[in-house]
Structure 1
Amino acid sequence: MGTPGAAGRHRIDRLLGSGGFASVWLGHDAELDSPVAVKILADHWALREDVRERFVREARLLRQVDSHLLVQVFDIGELDDGRPYFVMTYADRGNLEERLAAGPPPLNEALRLAVEITEGVRALHERGIVHRDLKPSNVLIRSVPGGGERIMLSDLGIARTEDHLSSLTLPAGSPGYMAPEQTRIDGAPDRRSDVYGLGALTYHLLTGEPPGERPAPPSRARPEVPPPVDEAVLRALEPDRDRRWPSAAAFGAALGRVTSKVDTDPLAGARLLRRSRRRPPGRRALTLAASAAAAVGIAGGGAFLVLDRQGGADGAAEGTAARMADPRGRLLRTDAGIPPRYRALIIQAGTWCELDGLSPALIAAMLRAESGFDPHLRDPARDEYGIARWTPSILVHWQPGGLDHPEPRPEEITPGLSIPAMGRYLCFWGKDLRDVPGDPALNLAGMYRTSAKTVRKEGGVPERYRAYAETVRRYIEAYKPR
């Protein structure tokens, strides 16, 4: 895809991020003398009417809500080559994931941000929209006159209006922040799924980490957290949605009763937050930065490479994403021949969930065994394509956004679609292998070639795939950190 010179009256300056379905560019509105973000549908999807409609639908939903707490859409149109685009608010301060990589902000700032995010979700719900993918990278930050900041929710690529929530849904969302019902086929997520996402975001803001399956009260990690905040957050994180807060408004009201007694002056909080960025990230923060580098949610559920603030394209973007993902090679060796442009995606897939055997080294080893890292692999006899040898009718269920995006054609199966899908697939079915004997990583690899049912029945890797599993084992040893 070439660099567009302009989108309507908006000059295009540089690429901000690019993924499987769309790219986002920094633009400039000369008439208003203002920077803007321009989201453009990827060229290989532009001829698909169903994809174009979903792309335009996101812009319409954002416009309908028309809240300063969401990214605002100013214009929509088509480039000269026919690709649709829409113009939206530019977040000049990045996103919350980048902020949290340096650790949790001060308590007053954490609570202020949590309340603002909750108000943004409330605005969505009042228009009958369920976001379904609340996570730090989808919370953008914009400066405001006077030195303050405000948040803006972004990425309605897998959002649904409530009149469509009863239709078939497949697993969709982001690990660590999605409600249990979002991990199940036809889990029918509703507003309470967003309440869980709000609870997870608030937990991360308070403690520096997303919640696990059985989260402890935030005050255990941070003693100054008031007991009412503990209670509000843990109720939002209830696995049983009937026991959660019934709405974002109810959760926000519970937080509001506490924050009214805490200094949440935005300028004071911003000053403290800027000082907090100087702290070096810990091991857990490094892992979270890996996920941020691989999946910035600004382009409709696709996996993204993140560029540095000065831009740069293609190779420069890939190098930056790889450095952000794992700068010291703690998750995946940097000297073992893994293509740098895939490292961020591999780390994202290998840390998609906490599962015995799953690791970035396993994902890299499987990609090497499946295709030799060839993104253009074609095997029509087996109906398998791309770097991870996906069959299109299977990939459609596991690609970012699931069935909210159409089944890709073979030539549309990019690494940005297929590598994250491996993490989703292994996490969803891998839990069925917990009591299967043998090496958990090799059992997952065998499952990828067959099915969880077959691996369970055989009591491990089926005999006909043991040579494949041995190849994966050798590559794991080559790729895992020393």
Structure 2
Amino acid sequence: MTAPSHAGRYRIEQLIGVGGFASVYLAHDDALRSPVAVKILADNWARQTDVRARFLQEAQLLRRADSHLLVQVFDVGELDDGRPYFVMTYADRGTLLERLRGGPLAMDEALSLMGEICQGVAVLHSIGVVHRDLKPSNVLLCSRPEGGERVMVSDLGIARSTDHLSGLTLPAGSPGYQAPEQLYFDGAPDARADVHGLGALTYHMLTGRVPAKPGRRVPPSALRPEVPEGLDAVVMRALDPDRDGRWPDAATYLAALSAPDTPPPPLSSPSSSSPSSSSPPLPPASGPSEPGPSEPAEPPPGAGERPRRRWRALAGGAAAIVVAVVAAAVAVSLAGSSDPPGGPASSAPATTGGPAGRWLRDDSDIPDEYRDLIVRAGTYCAEPGLSPALIAAMLKAESGYDPNLSDKDRNEYGIARWTPEVLWHWQPNGLQGAKPEPPFSPELSIVAMGRFMCTLGPQIEDLPGDPALKLAALYRSGVTPLKRAKGIPAKWRDYTTQVARYMRDYQPA
């Protein structure tokens, strides 16, 4: 849809961020003579009453917190075409993610930034809210009039009020930062889930790397020897796979970071905002024994060709049970819950994005309108082989960049050839959001590819073969066929050869 020229009194100047559910624009408040960011719900979601309500609940939560440590909301409204929007602080210095692309931060800078991030999350915890999606792209940086910069925590699209966390809680979060309990239904994440996210942010700033999954993690000092032993211990405690082993909340974690050589206090449960001891036990941190909505079930042998079709065929099995449970939970929340269930989690920051030219050749046939989305998907995590060039090559092979592709025989649609049932898993809110219906927007389809690669990619890292081409085959076949073939199945080698050829065309010289 064409960008609006105005949102109420705010004059739209340019698009600065796109997510699966919303877009963020740089705008100008002519009355107050200042730049602002305007977040607008996507047209294809604006007619979904539950998504629309949750979009506005994000604005309400930010307004309720009303802290300079969080992105502040100044106004809400509705465009002439009926789409809701809200007006926020404009972050003119970008995101923490953009800053980390230059490598690890200086020790003092990392700890100073982390102090402000912890304070912002502590504000949320003080009003009984768990963020649930702390990651570098949700930490924004803004110039201060007096000099220096202000750090702001953003994007409460999947935040939860802790007074509702003892009920059914749906999977949420981003690979590398989410706490293990966030992978499961009824994990009931409390403030300690955010502590895990804060620990992952600290680790990333100190080492330049996202923490590996539990069982493979090494202390920050193993990657950066000058990190002191006391700081190692504080960060690794925040990343404990067992939430009972973590710091209880953001304020306590900040205190520990401020005095890393002080003996830690004894372990204790969080305050009354935490789930009671009767909360259901969590599955092992190494992963679920049954596939969850953020990791579609592996297809049974002999099912249809593409994993999207095979996963869809699991009606009556684990996937069908998951869908039924989610449908019931969403119905309950819409019937009267006042907390904001996982909603339109646009990860689009209220910032300017970096040029795609650093990742993709300028003289290639990649359409300009998709380049920033391709970069987002290709840098979604640090999975070996994942890159913007890979995503672009796969889109070329899948659809020739045709956003209107419609293959009804295979029930595959859009630029990335998703089926509705499987895209439902990989959209920003997973099964908690409304089931997507074709036509699928490129904004939703392309970014979902990054989520797919980052969640399932670690399961094939140990197999032989080129990491990028293994990911391309994974997208076509799923995990089990790659493991059975001990690498790229013969059936998909022509496809991966085609992807490799396009990748060579798209990688910068």
Q: Does 1:301 align with 2:345?
A: yes
User: In the alignment, residue 455 of structure 2 is paired with which amino acid?
Assistant: F
> What's the secondary structure of 2:146's corresponding residue?
coil
C-alpha separation between the residues in 1 aligned to 2:79 and 2:477? 44
> What's the secondary structure of 1:410's corresponding residue?
coil
Find the counterpart in structure 1 of residue 403 from structure 2.
Answer: 375
TM-score (norm 1): 0.76
Q: Structure 2 unaligned runs (5+)?
A: 263-342
Q: Does 1:403 align with 2:431?
A: yes
Q: Does 1:322 align with 2:323?
A: no
C-alpha separation between the residues in 2 aligned to 1:462 and 1:216? 33
Change (3 A) 1:259 1:14: farther
User: In the alignment, residue 453 of structure 1 is paired with which amino acid?
Assistant: T
What does residue range 186-335 of structure 1 map to in structure 2 within 5 Å? 188-213=188-213, 214-219=216-221, 225-257=227-259, 300-302=344-346, 304=348, 308=352, 321-323=355-357, 327=358, 329=359, 335=363
Answer with 436-445 or 23-32: which moved more: 436-445
Find the counterpart in structure 1 of residue 23 from structure 2.
Answer: 23
Find the counterpart in structure 2 of residue 92 from structure 1.
Answer: 92
User: In the alignment, residue 178 of structure 2 is paired with which amino acid?
Assistant: M
> What's the secondary structure of 1:77's corresponding residue?
strand
Find the counterpart in structure 2 of residue 311 from structure 1.
Answer: none
Change (3 A) 1:240 1:460: same
Find the counterpart in structure 2 of residue 451 from structure 1.
Answer: 478
Instruction: Give the deviation of 1:33 after TM superposition.
Output: 4.4
> What's the secondary structure of 1:169's corresponding residue?
coil
Change (3 A) 1:456 1:226: closer
C-alpha separation between the residues in 2 aligned to 1:306 and 1:209? 24
Instruction: Give the deviation of 1:347 after TM superposition.
Output: 4.2
User: In the alignment, residue 356 of structure 2 is paired with which amino acid?
Assistant: A
C-alpha separation between the residues in 1 aligned to 2:166 and 2:468? 36
User: In the alignment, residue 204 of structure 1 is paired with which amino acid?
Assistant: H
Conservation of the 8 A alpha-carbon contact between 1:27 and 1:36:
yes
Instruction: Give the deviation of 1:365 after TM superposition.
Output: 3.1
Conservation of the 8 A alpha-carbon contact between 1:195 and 1:251:
yes
Q: Structure 1 unaligned runs (5+)?
A: 261-298, 309-316
Change (3 A) 1:241 1:409: same
Answer with 75-84 or 55-64: which moved more: 75-84
Find the counterpart in structure 1 of residue 133 from structure 2.
Answer: 133
Instruction: Give the deviation of 1:156 after TM superposition.
Output: 0.8
Answer with 243-252 or 472-481: which moved more: 472-481
Conservation of the 8 A alpha-carbon contact between 1:183 and 1:428:
no
Find the counterpart in structure 1 of residue 150 from structure 2.
Answer: 150
Answer with 355-364 or 151-160: which moved more: 355-364
Conservation of the 8 A alpha-carbon contact between 1:65 and 1:124:
yes
C-alpha separation between the residues in 2 aligned to 1:44 and 1:180? 32
User: In the alignment, residue 249 of structure 2 is paired with which amino acid?
Assistant: S
> What's the secondary structure of 1:134's corresponding residue?
coil
Find the counterpart in structure 1 of residue 298 from structure 2.
Answer: none
> What's the secondary structure of 2:259's corresponding residue?
helix
Find the counterpart in structure 2 of residue 388 from structure 1.
Answer: 416
Q: Does 1:109 align with 2:86?
A: no
C-alpha separation between the residues in 2 aligned to 1:177 and 1:169? 16
Q: What is the percent sequence identity of the aligned residues?
A: 58
Find the counterpart in structure 1 of residue 366 from structure 2.
Answer: 338
Instruction: Give the deviation of 1:50 after TM superposition.
Output: 2.0
Find the counterpart in structure 2 of residue 41 from structure 1.
Answer: 41
Q: Any idea what the Cα deviations from partners look like across 1:80-118, whole Å, max 9, x if unmatched?
A: 221111122233333333334445554333322211111
C-alpha separation between the residues in 2 aligned to 1:206 and 1:95? 16
Find the counterpart in structure 2 of residue 273 from structure 1.
Answer: none
Instruction: Give the deviation of 1:228 after TM superposition.
Output: 2.7
Find the counterpart in structure 1 of residue 68 from structure 2.
Answer: 68
Answer with 112-121 or 352-361: which moved more: 352-361
Change (3 A) 1:100 1:407: same
Q: Which has the higher helix share?
A: 1
Q: Any idea what the Cα deviations from partners look like across 1:415-444, whole Å, max 9, x if unmatched?
A: 221122223223333444456566665554
Conservation of the 8 A alpha-carbon contact between 1:191 and 1:247:
yes
User: In the alignment, residue 203 of structure 1 is paired with which amino acid?
Assistant: Y
Instruction: Give the deviation of 1:57 after TM superposition.
Output: 1.1
TM-score (norm 2): 0.73
Change (3 A) 1:26 1:369: closer
Instruction: Give the deviation of 1:155 after TM superposition.
Output: 0.6
Instruction: Give the deviation of 1:384 after TM superposition.
Output: 0.6
